[in-house]
Structure formats: C-alpha cells, structure tokens
C-alpha cells in the first residue's frame, strides 16, 4: 500500500508503534482483539483499528505538500480538510484559509479569489458546481485535490448504475460535505435522492409501492432529491450508495430493506432482482468497516468506561460513540485538555450537541479504560489522552516497560 509523508507531530511514541506491530502480526486483518496496555492501577484496552485512514493520510500528505510548494502564495481550503480540530488548526496557523464552513456557508467571497491563488479540495470532495466556479476563476481544482479515493469510488459506482438507468439512493446526512458532493456528482447522470436513516428509507418505500402520493414526496424529501425527480417513474429501478463514514451495518440494512421492498412489490424471482435493484455492496469503505468491527470486538471485553477521541463534527467518530454508548459509559472528547482533573471530564453529548462536564468519571482503581478514536484523529492526540489519564495515578509501571514488546 502507498505510504504518505505525515508530519512527525501527528505521530506517537506509543500509539504508532502499536499500530505497526499489530499490522505486521496480522497483515490479513483477521484479529480484532484489542491491544492491552497494563500499567498496574490502570489498564487500557485499545481498539485494533482506529485513527488516520488511507484517505486522511492522503489528504494530509497533499495539503502539506501544497503549503511547501506555494511559499508566499495565498492558500485556501474549500472547507475543513478533515473533521479534526487539531489538523485544521495547524493548517490555519500555517496561513491556510477556509472558503466555506462545514455546512457550505461562505466565509470568503468567491470574488476575492484570483488565478494566482492555490485552492485545496478537502478529503470529502466537492460539488460539480464548486468545481465549475473554480474553473471560471481560472483555478485548477485538481492540482491539490485531496478527495478520498473511496469517496471517488462511490461517485464512480453511482455513475455506473446511473448509466444503466437506475436511480441512485444515497444513504447519508443531507448536510454533510461528503453527501453534498456525492449528491452533486450522482445527479449529473441519474435521478438521485438522499435518505438519512432507516426511518426515511421506510418512508421512501411507501412511494415505491404507491401508498403515498408524489405531492407528499416532494414535501417530505424537500432538498434531498435531484431536479425533475419523478417518484412514480424514478423509483422503479434503484441502487444504494453511501456516505462512507456512515455505519456500514446501517447502510447495508437500508439496502437490504429496499431490495426486499422491490422484490415484493414487483413480484421478482431471484434471477430478476437486478432488473429493479442494483448490487452496490462494493461501495462500503474498508476503513470505516475496520474501525467499526474493531469497536464491536472491543466492546465484548469488560471495562469501566470508554474514551472516544475525535472532532465533534466527525461523522465516523460519532458512530463509534453511538456503538460504545450502547454498552458502557462513554466520553467523547476532542483532546487531552478535556480531562480537567481526576474528578472532572468535559465531553461532547451527541444528543444535545453540546459539551457537558461529568463528575467522578474515574472509578476506584484498578480501572480498565477502553480507548479508540475516529479516522481523522492523530495518534498524538490519543497518546496525549492516555498520558493525561496515567498522570492521575500513582505507582504506575513505566511506559518504556509496558511498551517493550512493541519496540
């Protein structure tokens, strides 16, 4: 697999060697058991897969290359390159400016850009409309394009099934940058609709079967379908693709459900299924799958609580939090400074969308803590959290001694 030039300050003397050790020992990625770091009073169970994925490392490599190659020039990112505050903050500290926020709101007017400016496309990709806007301004959107290859794979699959006269159903968060980009690319070649969850998929089924009217469709799915979408005609042949950071099980569940709806409604024999439903299993992202599978495996072990590290607007990280919350007390934090002291932790509540402070989160020792993070979180952040937690205990085994096996 291709290797990338990642700044050393994103690496970790603890986490990075563990990842490499596990990779060498399990090159086929069949072992999802967590890594155990036993410091005596506190014990960590670390997920088998977490942190920077291929797409994120590719994006970081290209972004820092753009900075190095354009000294003295203005450099812009269309929006946050990835959903991690540490990475985005460092890019801004180096002079990179964001043109849009994560919701697509304009921060810098297009009119202020010139052909001499460098513009980096984020890992989520961007829309056809923005690509055309950059071209009008004389800016090459492909010179520093950090779009994740697995996102592009979804775009290509959507185009392929569109050419075969299928309508594309995108499972994703309608306002997420990646979903907006996928929707934009897909609708160029096929009728396209976004469904955010199983509940919306079930509502979509009522338009497939004719139980609900087109008038209801246009109101219920406002802003989530392509121009000229005709539910009576365009829902007769469909295929499902996804925002790559969604829960793989959720995407597959939606695809399986809609497939069964098509089978029953059109009375299809097994050999006739592809006349109304396209096979798109190959669009699920391997890194998202690995991180989620590793989290499922992690949660089969006993522990006191879970720390999930990452940006609060990170979709893939949020889904890991959701999985962990089903089993154990879970704290979603962006960095080590959220561990205020031994008694207090400031963490993000997914349900209220705000940071809260919880008291007495650390039980009496010995303590077992599960630790994982999202695909856009640097190893250094995870190390910082681990070391901060260790600082709350006395009589811990030295890090060098615990890490000896991974050297």
Active site residues: 178
Find out whether 297 and 375 touch, Cβ atoms under 8 Å. Answer: no
How many angstroms separate the CA atoms of 49 and 373, rounded? 9
Which positions ≥6 away from 161 have C-beta within 8 Å? Answer: 168, 190, 239, 278, 280
Burial class (CB in 10 A: 0-12, 13-18, 19+), 340: middle
DSSP letters, 151-219, are: HHHHHHHHHHHHHTTPEEEEES-TTSHHHHHHHHHHTTTS-EEEE-SHHHHHHHHHHHTTSS-HHHHHH
- The neighbour count for residue 197, using CB atoms within 10 Å, is 15
Rounded Cα distance, 175 and 173, in Å: 6
DSSP string, 31-43: --PPEEEE-SSEE
- Enter the tokens of residue 22: 């596990």
What is the distance between the alpha carbons of residues 213 and 192, in angstroms, rounded to a whole number? 18
Helix H or strand E encompassing 320 = helix 315-325
Strands 167-171 and 354-359, sheet pairing: unpaired
């Amino acid at each position: 697999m291709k290797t990338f030039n990642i700044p050393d300050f994103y690496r970790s003397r603890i986490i990075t060697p563990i990842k490499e050790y596990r990779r060498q020992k399990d090159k086929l990625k069949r072992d999802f058991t967590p890594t155990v770091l036993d410091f005596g009073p506190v014990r960590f169970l670390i997920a088998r897969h977490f942190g920077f994925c291929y797409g994120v490392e590719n994006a970081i490599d290209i972004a820092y290359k753009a900075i190095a190659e354009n000294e003295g020039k203005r450099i812009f990112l269309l929006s946050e390159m990835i959903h991690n505050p540490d990475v985005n903050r460092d890019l801004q500290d180096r002079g990179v400016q964001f043109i849009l926020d994560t919701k697509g709101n304009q921060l810098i007017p297009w009119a202020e850009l010139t052909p001499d400016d460098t513009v980096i496309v984020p890992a989520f990709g961007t829309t056809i409309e923005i690509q055309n806007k950059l071209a009008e301004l004389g800016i090459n959107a492909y010179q520093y394009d950090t779009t994740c290859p697995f996102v592009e794979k979804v775009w290509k699959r959507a185009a392929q099934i569109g050419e075969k006269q299928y309508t594309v159903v995108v499972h994703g968060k309608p306002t997420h940058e990646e979903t907006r980009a996928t929707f934009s690319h897909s609708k160029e070649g096929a009728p396209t609709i976004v469904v955010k969850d199983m509940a919306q998929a079930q509502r979509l089924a009522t338009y497939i079967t004719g139980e609900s009217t087109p008038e209801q469709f246009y109101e219920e799915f406002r802003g989530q379908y392509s121009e000229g979408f005709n539910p009576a005609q365009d829902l007769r042949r469909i295929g499902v693709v996804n925002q790559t950071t969604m829960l793989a099980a959720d995407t597959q569940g939606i695809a399986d459900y809609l497939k069964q709806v098509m089978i029953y409604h059109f009375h299809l024999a097994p050999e006739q299924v592809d006349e109304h439903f396209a096979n798109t299993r190959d669009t699920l992202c391997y890194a998202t799958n690995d991180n989620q599978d590793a989290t499922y495996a992690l949660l089969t072990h006993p522990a006191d609580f879970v720390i999930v590290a990452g940006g609060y607007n990170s979709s893939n990280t949020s889904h890991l939090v959701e999985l962990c919350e089903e089993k154990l007390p879970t704290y979603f934090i962006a960095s080590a400074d959220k561990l205020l002291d031994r008694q207090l932790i400031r963490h993000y509540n997914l349900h209220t969308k705000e940071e809260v402070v919880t008291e007495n989160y650390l039980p009496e020792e010995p303590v077992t803590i599960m630790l994982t993070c999202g695909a856009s979180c640097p190893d250094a952040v995870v190390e910082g959290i681990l070391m901060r937690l260790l600082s709350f205990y006395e009589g811990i085994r030295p890090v060098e001694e615990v890490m000896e096996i991974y050297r």
